[in-house]
Amino acid sequence: MSADDPKTLVSTDWLAAHLPDPDLRILDASWYLPAEGRDPRAEYDQAHIPGARFVDIDDVSDARSELPHMVPPVEKFISRMRALGVGDGHQVVVYDGAGLFSAARLWWLFKLMGKADVAVLDGGFPKWQAEGREVEDLPPVIRDRHITVQRQAHLIKDVTQVAAASKLGSPQIVDARSPARFQGEEEEPRPGLQAGHIPGSFNVHYRSLLNEDQTMKGTDALRAAFDEAGVDLARPVITSCGSGVTAAILSLALERIGHAQHSLYDGSWTEWGSFRDLKVATG
């Protein structure tokens, strides 16, 4: 796979060269944990890549669920994208203010909705700014665009399906949280959750897939990270994390290395860790 792939990951050079393209749509999907004290919308208003539109992943979610940023109904996704002027025939590039973090979640959501021409900006806004590239603080002119959606149900798993996978050992469950959280040695950032991991799951910390500048590692290094964790890349994978955000980084990495048989546990540990009747492993 080439370094620049408009269906998975593109470089800042690629994006700069394609900025004039009329069918390019750039989305700022920045989101941060509350403890970081950052306001992604305020940061977007102050400076963003020219033409970028801001997407609140908590808004493009299922408001009926008590769990954070769960997948929205198809109708809500369509409504939010049309309001952003994103539709059929567009090449979408998603970025965030952390480098490569929450942008992968929106990339995965587009993929779930059957939209393939979507890529994450490698290194995100920090890399764009560090290279001295153009930014602006003006909102873009948005024109409504029709969008069709075909939900890809095989890309998402619920708690019942994950419990079956945990019991039977297939598909493999791969957790993107830090080793300390995975092992149950560190308290969860959300109160009330048990500490530990889904029995039988593997741990590939999402940060192990990134370079120091928050760009994604090359395909050989990505394969090595999964191999070292004991993941069999010849078998299907369910990605998981704290709340379904960094699990999408694992999904993006799997897509980069050509592993198509992957899905994402949307409720992730926020759901699993809240159920006292579900088994939890530590160590």
Active site residues: 241
User: Dihedral angle at the C-alpha atoms of 127, 265, 257, 260, nearest 10 degrees?
Assistant: -140
Pairing verdict, β 24-28 and 172-175: unpaired
152-183 per-residue burial string, b: 16 or more CB within 10 A, e: under 16: eeebbbebeebbebbeeeebbbbbbbbeebbb
Task: Classify the C-alpha dihedral 76-79-83-87 as positive or negative.
Answer: positive
Q: How far apart are CA 96 and CA 16, in angstroms?
A: 16
Identify the bridge partners of residue 265 per DSSP, sorted by sequence position. 157
The alpha-helical segments, DSSP class H, found in 28-96 are 40-46, 74-83
Strands (E), 152-219: 156-157, 172-175, 202-203
Assess contact for 82 and 144: CB atoms under 8 A.
yes
Assess contact for 149 and 114: CB atoms under 8 A.
yes
Q: Is 259 helix (H, G, I), strand (E, B) or coil?
A: coil
